[in-house]
Amino acid sequence: MRDSRTRSKGRWAAAPLLVFAVIVFGVPMLVLLGGTFTKEGTLSTANLTESLQGAYLTALVGSVKISALVAVLGGVLGTFLAQAVVTSRFRALREAVLTASGVLANFGGVPLAFAWIATLGNSGVVTTTLGLGQHGWNLYNFWGLTLVYLYFSIPLQVLTVVPALDGLRPQWREAAQNNGASTWQFWRYVGIPVLTPALLGGVVLLFGGAFSAYATAQAMVGSTVPLVTLKIADALTGNVLIGHENVALALSLDMIVVAGLVMAVYLPLQRRSARWLR
């Protein structure tokens, strides 16, 4: 198996995928990078500077804020839900929640926005039934969007942490209790440290999901909530001054840098988790 002929054949079989990735993924990314640093045909950082000022900066900060909030809230709530399911004695409940999580974690985009508009929008069923409109209820703002983003984030966190919670061995808990540890002490010194990488991994995924979400925000709030994805789409569809088209590319680069930084925090942690949870 290890002769050189097989090896060269092996490389050859992986080549189409790598060539494809370089052309279809690499070229647009290179163009993105090139366009960011080009203004009217000359090399410049003007686009990048502009993308970090005024309304563009507000949008970028707005995106980071909502993503961080969704990631933390979704991470905590999802973990509690996962723990409730894992410790439950009903096998069917566990199966049902996991299947539902699989579906709901994929329930993003336009349909999600419409489901929530039908529920809590201005003429939504719950809004009109409970008369929330008179109490100043409004779904089309920062908090409304957070509520909607949590709808696919919590299930995603459940899917991420259930395997880790399953890996938390009952013997550890029993050992801690035999040594006189309280429930709080067990979680503080055993549970949380072992789970931290998985929890943070989930939080990073949630951040990424909320950060790059465009369809839901576009269908729900249009441009009332400043988000970087909406600004990029605006700029790409020609909604900018002539000569400023490349700001969309600069904003995209900003996004990639933020997403990359968040991922970079997560990768070293993930290596640590493998030690305990197998």
Partner 1 sequence: MASLTPQVSTQVTTQVTPGTVPARGGGRPRRPRVWRGVVLLLAAVYFLVPLIASFVFTVKAPGRGFSLDAYGQIFSAEGFGGSLLLSLGLGLATIALVLLLTLPAVVAVRLGAPRLRPVLEVVCTLPLVVPPITFVAGISTVLRWGPDYLASTPFYQTIIALQNPGFPVVLVLAYVVLALPFAYRSLDAGLGAIDVRTLTEAARNLGASWPHVLLRVIIPNMRSAMASASFLTLALVLGEFTIARLLSFETFPNWIYRISGSQAQVSVAVSVFSLLITWLLLLALSSAGARQRSGS
Q: How far is the CB of 181 from partner 1 (least distance, A)?
A: 11
Q: Does 102 bind partner 1 (CB under 8 A)?
A: yes
3-state secondary structure of 77: helix
Residue 50 has φ and ψ, to the nearest 5°, of: -65, -35
Q: How far is the CB of 116 from partner 1 (least distance, A)?
A: 6
Return the beta strands (E) in the chain as ranges.
38-39, 42-43
Binding segment toward partner 1, per CB under 8 A, in 44-52, 124-132, 134-142, 190-198: 124-132
201, 271 in Cβ contact below 8 A? no
Question: What count of other Cβ atoms lies within 10 Å of the Cβ of residue 119?
Answer: 13
Q: Is the Cβ of residue 57 or residue 115 nearer to partner 1 in the bound state?
A: 115
- Which positions from 146 to 165 touch partner 1 by CB under 8 A, shown as an x/- string? ----xx--xx----------
61, 258 in Cβ contact below 8 A? no
Q: How far is the CB of 77 from partner 1 (least distance, A)?
A: 8
Q: Does 167 bind partner 1 (CB under 8 A)?
A: no
Residues touching partner 1, count (CB under 8 A) = 84
Q: How far is the CB of 131 from partner 1 (least distance, A)?
A: 15
Q: Does 239 bind partner 1 (CB under 8 A)?
A: no
Q: Does 143 bind partner 1 (CB under 8 A)?
A: no
Q: How far is the CB of 86 from partner 1 (least distance, A)?
A: 8
What are the C-alpha distances in Å from 162 to residues 62, 79, 102, 155, 274?
A: 31, 8, 12, 11, 15
Q: Does 206 bind partner 1 (CB under 8 A)?
A: no
One of 52, 61, 72, 100 touching partner 1 (CB under 8 A): 100
One of 92, 135, 237, 241 touching partner 1 (CB under 8 A): 237
Q: Does 214 bind partner 1 (CB under 8 A)?
A: yes
The alpha helices in 45-108, defined as continuous H runs, are 46-51, 54-86, 91-105
- 153: closest CA among 222, 254, 235, 82? 82
- 153: closest CA among 69, 250, 95? 69
Residues 6+ apart with CB under 8 A from 51: 57, 60, 247, 250, 251, 253, 254
One of 47, 195, 249, 273 touching partner 1 (CB under 8 A): 249
One of 60, 69, 104, 156 touching partner 1 (CB under 8 A): 104
Q: Does 265 bind partner 1 (CB under 8 A)?
A: no
Q: Does 88 bind partner 1 (CB under 8 A)?
A: yes
Binding segment toward partner 1, per CB under 8 A, in 68-76, 81-89, 131-139, 191-199: 81-89
Angle, CA of 57, 201 and 18, to the nearest 5°:
80
Q: Does 112 bind partner 1 (CB under 8 A)?
A: yes
Rounded to whole angstroms, the Cα distance separating 234 from 72 reads 29
